[in-house]
Amino acid sequence: MPRLDHAAFETPDPDAAAAFYERVFGARIVKTEGHPVMAYVGNSGFAFHETGGVGDHVGVRVTEEEREELKRRLDEAGIEWEEHDHEIAKGVFFRDPDGRQLEAITYTKRDDPRRP
């Protein structure tokens, strides 16, 4: 069953952005080399990327089978998509009809290993 996983934003100072969410929401901050700074609030996360990265987007967690089915549906609908291997996960990026970027993400070990 797909579910919201994260909201991602580009920012010139990922650490400062995450610190704000820590102060306001009590978010748990996780920093891993080569990945965005994560601010976890409950089962969801805010991902803060350096400017010039993948762009602002909303991540929806899906199984590997759901991700493959989604790619088939996107192809049938003529919607362009691009797959990224994040090492800990694979994500399919595409845009909705209003231009918002979405990512269908599947973690390789069934869950994000950075979560508590």
Is 21 a domain residue?
yes
Q: Share the mean pLDDT of the chain.
A: 92
Is 91 a domain residue?
yes
Q: Is the distance from CB of 69 to CB of 62 less than 8 angstroms?
A: no
Is 86 a domain residue?
yes
pLDDT of 34 = 82
Is 112 a domain residue?
no
Is 36 a domain residue?
yes
pLDDT of 78 = 98
- 10-42: per-residue pLDDT in tens? 999 999 999 999 999 999 999 988 889 999 998
Spatial separation of the C-alpha atoms in residues 116 and 110, rounded to whole Å? 14
Q: At 29, which CATH number?
A: 3.10.180.10
Strands 57-61 and 3-11 come out as: antiparallel
- 79-103: per-residue pLDDT in tens? 999 999 988 899 999 999 999 999 9
Query: 59 is in which domain, residue-wise?
Result: 3-107
Is 114 a domain residue?
no
pLDDT of 112 > 80? The answer is no
Rg over CA atoms, the chain: 14
Spatial separation of the C-alpha atoms in residues 78 and 81, rounded to whole Å? 9
Is 115 a domain residue?
no
State the total domains in the chain: 1
pLDDT of 113 > 80? The answer is no
Is 11 a domain residue?
yes
Q: Pick from 64, 110, 71, 114: which is nearest to 92 by CA?
A: 71
